[in-house]
Amino acid sequence: MWGAGTRPNITFSLPHEWAYVNSTYVPPDTETGAVDIRAKSTIIDGLSNQRWANLALRHGGKVVGERILLIEDDDALSRMMRLQLEHAGYQVTVCLDGTSGLEAARESEPDLILLDILLPDIDGWVVCERLQEITDVPIIFASALGSERDVIRGLDLGADDYMIKPFSYKELLARVKSALHRARRAAARRDRRG
């Protein structure tokens, strides 16, 4: 359940007449027709993700998941990760270098960032530092650099987690879900404190 002022991380696509939520009009996205209830956090007090999902599905809509920004220069790996994450219900934006990743983080307001370290233009260490100036969403390093020193450096830079390549689909999903869950809990606590 969400309390007053908390922000859910799910977008629902509803028929146009269902774009009114608690008598407040929420305009649908012009391209997708989705109604982003994150923009109107106070209108969803007391309703769970499941109730919103049921409402959307009952009335011909669809549920679109949380947004993930994937910054990974390996095209084949980024395609595979994107497909896996989309299959699990997430919206994924892929950037193949650090510069475009930083720009996408500013523009797309992701809920979580998956970040490689060995990028062609700016290394992931620097990208992580710059991302923290832009956003406070969870950052998970996903890198072939697997020494203890690298893991510690990533966590010391402020990353929320560090995955060593290769990793399984199940591990990827578990770490993403865990980081998003922690971020939602932290946001709810902040909102309760006012």
The pair of structure tokens assigned to 117 is 């370290």
Count of CA atoms in the C-beta half-sphere (13 A) of 37: 32
Q: What is the pLDDT confidence band of residue 25, given thresholds at 50, 70 and 90?
A: low
The pair of structure tokens assigned to 113 is 């960032």
Q: Is residue 134 part of a domain?
A: yes
3-class SS at 164? strand
The pair of structure tokens assigned to 161 is 């987690």
Same domain, 37 and 129: no
Q: Within a 10 A sphere around the Cβ of 27, how many other Cβ atoms?
A: 11
d(C-alpha 96, C-alpha 2), whole Å? 35
Query: Tens of pLDDT along 151-171?
Result: 999 999 999 999 999 999 999
Count of CA atoms in the C-beta half-sphere (13 A) of 63: 19
Same domain, 53 and 143: no
Q: Is residue 191 part of a domain?
A: no
Same domain, 93 and 171: yes
The pLDDT of residue 127 is 98
93 backbone dihedrals φ, ψ, rounded to 5°: -110, 130
Residues in the chain: 194
Q: What is the CATH number of the domain that holds 118?
A: 3.40.50.2300
Q: Is residue 1 part of a domain?
A: no
Same domain, 56 and 85: no
d(C-alpha 193, C-alpha 189), whole Å? 6
User: Looking at per-residue confidence, does 37 or 186 come out higher?
Assistant: 186
Which domain range does residue 130 map to? 67-178
Task: Give all strands (DSSP E) within the chain, no chain letters.
Answer: 11-13, 20-21, 24-25, 34-36, 62-64, 67-71, 91-95, 112-115, 139-143, 161-164
d(C-alpha 25, C-alpha 147), whole Å? 51
Query: Tens of pLDDT along 39-68?
Result: 433 334 344 454 555 555 555 554 557 999
- Indicate whether 132 pLDDT > 60: yes
3-class SS at 32? coil
Q: Is residue 54 part of a domain?
A: yes
Query: Tens of pLDDT along 66-120?
Result: 999 999 999 999 999 999 999 998 999 999 999 999 999 999 999 999 999 999 9
Q: What is the pLDDT confidence band of residue 30, given thresholds at 50, 70 and 90?
A: low
d(C-alpha 165, C-alpha 151), whole Å? 12
Query: Tens of pLDDT along 4-20?
Result: 333 344 455 444 444 44
Same domain, 98 and 168: yes
Same domain, 120 and 172: yes
Same domain, 96 and 54: no
Number of domains making up the chain: 2
Same domain, 118 and 153: yes
Same domain, 119 and 146: yes
Q: Is residue 19 part of a domain?
A: yes
Q: Is residue 189 part of a domain?
A: no
Give this prediction's pTM: 0.71
DSSP line for 166-182: S--HHHHHHHHHHHHHH
Same domain, 91 and 147: yes
Q: Is residue 18 part of a domain?
A: yes
Q: Is residue 42 part of a domain?
A: yes
Same domain, 79 and 44: no
The pair of structure tokens assigned to 23 is 């008598």
Mean of pLDDT over the chain: 80
